[in-house]
Amino acid sequence: MSSLFRIVTRKALYGLPVVALGATVLVGAQGQVALAEPPLTVEDAKAQIEQHEAEAAGLDQEYNDVKLEIKDAEKTLAQKQKNLKAQRSMIEKLKKIVGQVALANLQNQSLGTTAQLFLHADTDRFLSQLSTVEKITQNQNSALQNYQEQQAALVSLEQSATDDLKALESQRDDLKKIRKEAQKRVDDAEAILTRLTAQQREQIENEEAQESEDSERAASQASDDDSDDSDSGDDSDDSKSEDDSASSGSGKGAQVLAWALTQKGKPYVFGADGPSSYDCSGLTLKAWGKVGVSLPHSSSKQFKMGTPVSKDNLKPGDLVFYYSSSRPSHVGIYAGNGQVFHAPNSRKPLGYSSLDDMPYVGARRYG
């Protein structure tokens, strides 16, 4: 499969946009053709950077998925190796039994029964042995057949374990390739920044900082509004509906968000799940783990768990997913008032973004 085909296929899988990159063709004095990169506008640069970062995030989650597959494969292989040890032990025992049967038959074929009885000093012992030998002889075919069947099972089990080991090694190679490809996306994003003027880079930094501040302010306002609603509640109403309780940020969701916010400012790191750095699903699994809910380190697998929540019924602590409904490549924690707290990418620390900054595909509630 060509690199271009893999890239386009992965973009389609994760629902990523394809940004066209233009180039100017230059012909040198010797007739050599070269491609000159055109100047970028800030908007073009931001779009291309976002695409590369989204692809890197998708590869991050693909990396996590393969790690989980490797973990399962290692458990399966370990069990097969344990079964192999037991099977080999059984084969050794059966081999001895078959050998004893063959030896007994050989020894007792040289003399007739009458002659053996005449020559045997202990008649009672001989008759007892003879009865045993005859019984073994009757079961000889059965013992040999059992040995052959178990030997065939051993060969099959050995082949299966060998195949599993090869597959495991291939998966480990895949991890290295995915990690390398993801780093290339990060490098590509950085390369775009280097094509900009200092003024353009400063403009992007200022815009991103303003967007983050706006999101944090909006999320804080949501928290303040919830607190005010709680303080001004009617004391005569001793009960609260479940929806009212959830909307005020109570319960596990509020605890999840509260813990996640204590990680604000920590860096995004590929495949990390804390405590000093996180990727997107590493943050969400640790946050929900703080309230006793175990989630896998994978945005796509987290999306298959919990209870679906509609966008207009989101509550603080709900997980929101992006880019592809079949295999989401990014996840964040809903923070209220149309904002999400997440681990965005390697350029930005853990912080806030607008819920609609990325292609939204769904949400889940747990616990």
- Only one residue has tokens 């815009």, namely 207
Is 297 annotated in the active site? no
Q: How far apart are CA 328 and CA 16, in angstroms?
A: 11
Cβ contact 301:65 at 8 Å: yes
CA separation for the pair 364, 304 (Å, rounded)? 9
Catalytic-labelled residue, pool 52, 120, 297, 342: 342
* Contact call for residues 346 and 306 (beta carbons, < 8 A): no
What's the distance, Cα to Cα, between the start and end of the chain in Å?
Answer: 42
Choosing from 52, 120, 280, 297, which is the catalytic residue? 280
Q: In whole angstroms, what is the distance from residue 62 CA to residue 16 CA? A: 14
Q: How is residue 245 written in tokens?
A: 């309780």
Tokens representing 188?
């590509």
Catalytic choice (52, 120, 297, 330): 330
Backbone φ and ψ of 36, nearest 5°: -100, 130
| Count of other CB atoms within 10 angstroms of residue 316 | 28
Cα–Cα distance list, 189 to 21, 149, 156, 196 (Å):
13, 60, 50, 12
Minimal CA–CA distance to 296: which of 331, 259, 265, 326? 331
Cβ atoms of 278 and 269 within 8 Å: the answer is yes
Residue 330 a catalytic site member: yes
Measured between alpha carbons, how far is 58 from 68 in angstroms, rounded to an integer? 15
Catalytic residues: 280, 330, 342
